[in-house]
Amino acid sequence: MAKVVVLHSGGLDSTVLLAQMVAMHGSDQVESLGVHYGQVHAKEMESALEVCGILDVRRTMVVMSMAHDFFGDCALTGRDSSAIPDGHYSDDTMRSTVVPFRNTILLALCAARATAIKAEVIAMAVHAGDHAIYPDCRPEFLSAMDRVLMCGDYKPLLLDAPFLNYTKAQIVEVGVKCRAPMGFTWSCYKGGHVHCGTCGTCVERREAFIKAGVADPTEYFQTPPIPLRP
Residue 102 C-beta-side C-alpha neighbours within 13 Å = 25
Binding positions for a copy of itself, 154-183, rule CB under 8 A: 154
Point out which span in 5-13, 84-92, 95-103, 160-168 binds a copy of itself (CB under 8 A). Answer: 95-103
Report the nearest approach of a copy of itself to the CB of residue 79 (Å).
Answer: 15
- Residue 47 contacts residue 186 (beta carbons within 8 Å): yes
Residue 136 contacts a copy of itself per CB under 8 A: yes
How far is Cα 119 from Cα 139, in angstroms, rounded to an integer? Answer: 23
Q: Which of 108, 128, 158, 178 binds a copy of itself (CB under 8 A)?
A: 108
In degrees and rounded to multiples of 5, residue 192 shows phi and psi of -80, -170
Cα separation values, 194 from 43, 215, 216, 217, Å: 10, 17, 14, 12
Q: Which is nearer to a copy of itself, 64 or 210 (CB)?
A: 64
Q: Are 57 and 18 in contact (CB under 8 A)?
A: yes
Identify which of residues 156 and 213 has a Cβ nearer to a copy of itself in the complex.
Answer: 156
- Position 210 contacts a copy of itself (CB under 8 A): no
Considering only 23, 54, 148, 178, the residue that binds a copy of itself (CB under 8 A) is 148
CB 106 within 8 A of CB 7: yes
Which of 105, 128, 164, 226 is the binder for a copy of itself (CB under 8 A)?
A: 105
Which is nearest to 157 in space by CA: 108, 116, 113, 120? 120
Cα(127)–Cα(115) distance, rounded to whole angstroms?
A: 25
* 162 and 198 Cβ atoms separated by less than 8 Å: no
> Residues touching a copy of itself: how many (CB under 8 A)?
44
Nearest-approach distance from CB 230 to a copy of itself, in angstroms: 20
Residues in contact with a copy of itself by CB under 8 A are 60-67, 69-72, 74, 98-105, 107-109, 111-113, 115-117, 135-136, 138, 140-141, 144-145, 147-148, 150-154
